[in-house]
A and B are shown apart, each in its own frame.
Chain A
Amino acid sequence: MAMAALRREGRRFAPLISPRPITAVRSSPIAPTYEDEGPIGVRYISTQVVRNRMKSVKNIQKITKAMKMVAASKLRAVQTKTENSRGLWQPFTALLGDLPSVDVKKSVVVTISSDKGLCGGINSTAVKISKGIRKLNSGPEKETKYVVLGEKAKAQLIRDSKKDIELIITELQKNPLNYTQVSVLADEILKNVEFDALRIVFNKFQSVVSFLPTVSTVLSPEIVEREAESGGKLGDLDNYEIEGGETKGEILQNLVEFQFSCVMFNAVLENACSEQGARMSAMDSSSRNAGDMLDRLTLTYNRTRQASITTELIEIISGASALEG
């Protein structure tokens, strides 16, 4: 690595095998320094390489600090929206319960991820959970399809499940997230994809450092009726009177579509929050690492500088004493 640095600098290099008083510094892995022969035989050690590296590390630290600030401000904005939307899905779960282990033929996994990177591991966990759900639902006559929101999950899922992906939606956050946009999205998904159960996989925002992968299940009206008839959690559904509409099926259809758009809205907001939080912590640890690296480089730089000063002094003094004696 030192040789490559030398070649880049376009300078002659002294053979590194000959023992010199500055061998200790040269063997440091972080800061490859080298010697050069000056015009009158004065040897000096260049700290140029270390200085360059320090400059680039400092720039990286500044950039990551700035990214952390940006993510923090974006997080503040989305967090209030997310907390306000948390009441939206609770009535549906109170009415219809949550049956993640329901046995259906066609399940569709809606994976929500971010478009931009540098946000830690949340996208990988979402994809891993989606693949896990697919494995859970595998069996004879059962199939699982994907609907992908976000570039990062698209990149990961396209690699091995390309034929199972029904819809890919990206650039969700170009405009601030709002319910209208999400309901149009939900409409598209409901129109184009056949499903018995929709499983929405996202990262729920618990706190700035904790994101829990969550799966919300939305059943199609037929499955809701089936589960209601077979008893169990949805058995109480028959006790509810249905106001309006000609048939129960019609109301259930509207209910399921409304439930899907509400759950999607909350899921998309929670994921956006988690993304900003994860990015904040990733950038924070990155700037801390850069700071540590900078400290180590500074120590090496100072050692090199002092060593070169010492070498100069030694040479001058030994030269002077040689003249005298």
Chain B
Amino acid sequence: MLRQASRLLARRPILAARTRAFSTDLSAADQTADAAFADAWNKVIPNMDPPKTPLSFMQPRPPTPSSIPSKLTVNFVLPYASELATKEIDMVIVPATTGQMGVLPGHVATIAELKPGVLSVHEGNEVTKYFVSSGFVFIHANSFADIIAVEAVPLDRLDANLVQKGLAEFTSKLSSATTDLEKAETQIGVDVHSALNSALTG
């Protein structure tokens, strides 16, 4: 109820205190949720300060512009590093479960799951390719793309021999697998290795 009321009020978003590499949108609705939580907390536990929530550690993201921007801003994150942080590029091709998907500025807002495959980032004339194990990609209406992958390596770090060996190993394991769990695990191994194979050759 509070959230609906605040949307009508359209308050200006307040910038978060900490500056970060990313910029996200702390809209009016987010502010009220934070305030509602803080109020509820203070009523029940008056002696302690309320804990912080993730919203206070993020920067607001720009709202959807009226015209299509010229560049796509991409955040490519892994558990161990942020490969690309708010980098402005022309296009990115992601290996979604439905196939290779090209993302250009002004792409419709999408949530897509990734399968093992090659991710390529196109900036001007440069193309950087990564092999991605799996993850998610969120494309927002304001031409921001978030790619979250579990593991990503540049293609030149892959060893073709090991890929072949792994593929052979998992294929043989798949044919000898008995339980459903084993079958699922070996199937995943086969999928990943054949994707690696096609990435190296294709």
Partners in one complex: yes
> Which of A23-31, A89-97, A151-159 interfaces with chain B?
A89-97
Does B44 lie within 8 Å of A132, measured CB to CB?
yes
Find chain B residues with CB under 8 A from A128 CB: 48
User: Considering only CB atoms and an 8 Å cut-off, how many residues of chain B contact the other chain?
Assistant: 56
- Nearest-neighbor residue (CB-CB) of B21 within chain A: A87
Q: Which residues of B contact A85 (CB under 8 A)?
A: 79-80
Contacts of B136 in A (CB 8 A): 91, 254-255, 258
CA separation between A196 and B29, bound complex, in Å? 22
- Of the residues A88, A97, A254, A258, contact of B30 by C-beta under 8 Å: A97
Tell which of B4, B22, B80, B96 touches A179, judged by Cβ atoms closer than 8 Å: B80
Is the Cβ of A243 less than 8 Å from the Cβ of B97?
A: yes
Contacts of B148 on A, CB cut-off 8 Å?
88, 91-92, 258, 262
B contact patch SS:
mixed
Contact, CB under 8 Å: A95 / B51: no
Q: How far is the CA of A77 from the CA of B108 in the complex (A)?
A: 41
A101 in complex: contacting residue of B40, B54, B113, B141, CB < 8 Å: B40
Task: Check if B81 is an interface residue, CB within 8 A of chain A.
Answer: yes
**A129 engages B111 (CB within 8 Å):** no
Complex contact B41–A239 (CB within 8 A): no
Q: Does A241 contact B (CB under 8 A)?
A: yes
Complex formed: what's the CA distance from A240 to B41 in Å? 33
Least CB distance from B68 to A in Å reads 16
CA distance A251 to B135 in the complex (A): 12
- Tell me which of B55-63, B122-130, B157-165, B167-175 binds A: B55-63
Contact A93 B52 (CB under 8 A): no
B172 CB, nearest partner CB in chain A, Å: 25
Whether a CB of chain B sits under 8 angstroms from the CB of A46 is: no
Contact residues in B for A231 (Cβ distance below 8 Å): 3-4
Convert A112-136 into 0s and 1s, putting 1 for each residue whose CB lies closer than 8 angstroms to a CB of B: 0000000000000000110011011
Instruction: Please pick, from A81, A98, A232, A262, the residue contacting B53 in the complex, using a CB distance under 8 A.
Output: A98
Which has the most chain A C-beta neighbours within 10 Å: B36, B37, B141?
A: B37
Contact status of A91 and B146, CB under 8 A, knowing A214-B51, A244-B98, A251-B111: yes
Bound: A251/B138 CA distance, A: 12
Q: Are A93 and B36 in contact (CB under 8 A)?
A: no
Say yes or no: is A204 at the interface (Cβ < 8 Å to chain B). Answer: yes
- Please classify how large the interface on chain A is, using the bins under 10, 10 to 19, 20 to 34, 35 or more: 35 or more
Chain B contacts of A101 at CB under 8 A?
Answer: 33, 36-37, 40
* Interface pair B140/A94, CB less than 8 Å apart: yes
Among B3, B58, B80, the residue within 8 A (CB) of A93 is B58
Complex CA–CA separation, A262 to B147 (angstroms): 13
Is the CB of A100 closer than 8 A to any CB of chain B? yes
Whether the pair B82, A87 counts as a contact (CB closer than 8 A) is yes
**Is B25 touching A94 in the complex (CB atoms < 8 A)?**
yes
Are A99 and B113 in contact (CB-based, < 8 A)? no
Contacts of B52 on A, CB cut-off 8 Å?
Answer: 204, 212-215
Q: Which of B25, B45, B57, B135 contacts A258 (CB 8 A)?
A: B135
Given the contacts A258-B136, A262-B148, A232 and B4 also touching, CB distance less than 8 Å: yes
Determine whether the beta carbon of B51 is less than 8 Å from that of A213: yes
Q: Which single residue of chain B is at the shortest CB-CB distance from A252?
A: B111
B115 shortest CB reach to chain A, Å: 8
